[in-house]
Amino acid sequence: MTRARAFGLPLRGTPGPSNAITDVPGVEVGYTTLLSGDGPLRVGEGPVRTGVTALLPRGRAGDGHPCTAGLYSLNGNGEMTGAHWIAESGTLAVPVLITNTHAVGPCHRGVIDRAVRERGGRPAEWMLPVVAETWDGYLNDIDGPHVTSAHAVAAIDAARGGPVAEGSVGGGTGMNCYGFKGGSGTSSRIVEYGPDTYTVGVFVQANFGARRELTVCGVHVGDDLADDNPMEDTDWIAPPGAGSVIVVVATDAPLLPGQCTALARRVPLGLARTGTVGHHSSGDVFLAFSTADQGPMTDGFPVGPPGYDTLRYVQRNRIDPFYEAVVQGVEEAVLNALLAAETLVGRDGHRSPALPKDRLRDLMGL
């Protein structure tokens, strides 16, 4: 698996040990990848090029313990369930799943099925699963019921810390980015704050951008790589730039919900460094959360006498280094997704070519 730094790209900032969202203590990532069949599309039968990604904010050990959280949508042509409650409460207490557009339902059910299993027969609880999507219909039989609730449960069960696979894995299996094969990508940055050291981690499901826009570390390479672009060179119905991008930002720095929202609002600046203008046909939805231990973060139904919650947070006028970490991390995560992905052929022979590394190396003078 090729990554942007190993490739030699001049990226700024200091990454964590795995250069992944899992560098934030407690965060775990798991995948279910579904690849089967070839040839003409037969709705309900395949070919299948899809999957499920699960991000556990506090890992299995901290399941149900709320994090402060915030959201931002650059363009609403997409879905993230549970978003209204995150915006209302400023908290996130469930796994975050990412899949294809037509598999949101079974993934939503899968989060509930796993919760039922983990409760071991205890009475039902109230929950609003968080499931986000991007569209993989160019390569995948997206209308077929291939993703099931069991696949969502499997992705959650597979979640681990440490290095994270990138490219055509999990929910990113059938995705395309700048007319090349895209998918899953991640990165992290270390942030010094007075005597303390924190981590900002980023995960992207990259399915956005027109080929002509692609920019790598400030060098506009899209025009020079304009050939071999099946999505634009055929009568495929989607306009250039169609797709979506989901970005999840995690940090162990103590932040207020509004500060998490402010981090999510910086995601488009990192995406823009890779060239996108934020197309109307792209659903661009971003979530940021803090895993700092803020005590009970009370929500749900009240139990016992009234009390008070206390939040500790980074000073508002000193948050810029965290913004910088988000922008740098998003840019690198997208490049990691592009460089890790290999050429993939899907339904009806549709082909998504890999980013040509040798040509990119020449264009970048590496």
Indicate the angle between helix axes 149-157 and 104-119, nearest 10 degrees.
Answer: 60
Residues 6+ apart with CB under 8 A from 126: 300, 301
Q: Average pLDDT of 278-293?
A: 94
Check if 362 is active-site: no
Q: What's the pLDDT score for residue 249?
A: 99
Confidence of residue 242 (pLDDT cuts 50, 70, 90): confident
What domains does the chain contain, in order, with CATH numbers? 4-296+312-347 (3.60.70.12)
Indicate the angle between helix axes 257-273 and 320-340, nearest 10 degrees.
Answer: 50
| Amino acid, res. 72 | Y
Is-contact 230 355, C-beta < 8 A?
A: no
Q: What's the pLDDT score for residue 91?
A: 94
User: Which residues in 146-253 belong to E strands, given as ranges?
Assistant: 176-177, 180-181, 183-193, 196-209, 215-216, 219-220, 241-251
Q: What's the pLDDT score for residue 305?
A: 84
CA angle at residue 336 from 330 to 338, to 5 degrees? 110
Q: Average pLDDT of 205-227?
A: 97
Check if 18 is active-site: no
Q: Tens digit of pLDDT for each residue in 176-201?
A: 999 999 999 999 999 999 999 999 99
Whole-prediction pTM: 0.96
pLDDT > 90? residue 306 = no
Q: Tens digit of pLDDT for each residue in 255-273?
A: 999 999 999 999 999 999 9
Q: Tens digit of pLDDT for each residue in 342-362?
A: 999 999 999 999 999 999 999
- The residue from 89, 184, 187, 282 that is catalytic is 282
Concatenate the DSSP letters of all residues of 265-316 into one string: HHHHHHHHHTT----TTEEEEEEEEE-S--TT---SS--SS----------G
Residues 6+ apart with CB under 8 A from 335: 4, 9, 11, 185, 216, 274
Q: Average pLDDT of 8-34?
A: 98
pLDDT > 80? residue 294 = no
Q: Tens digit of pLDDT for each residue in 104-153?
A: 999 999 999 999 998 887 776 788 999 999 999 999 999 999 999 999 99
Q: What's the pLDDT score for residue 104?
A: 98
Check if 290 is active-site: no
Pairing of strands 241-251, 282-290: parallel
pLDDT > 80? residue 341 = yes
pLDDT > 90? residue 238 = no
| Amino acid, res. 108 | H
- The residue from 89, 187, 284, 352 that is catalytic is 284
Query: Is the alpha carbon torsion for 294, 298, 299, 300 positive or negative?
Result: positive
- The mean predicted confidence, pLDDT, of the chain is 94
- The residue from 188, 244, 290, 352 that is catalytic is 244
Q: Average pLDDT of 330-336?
A: 98
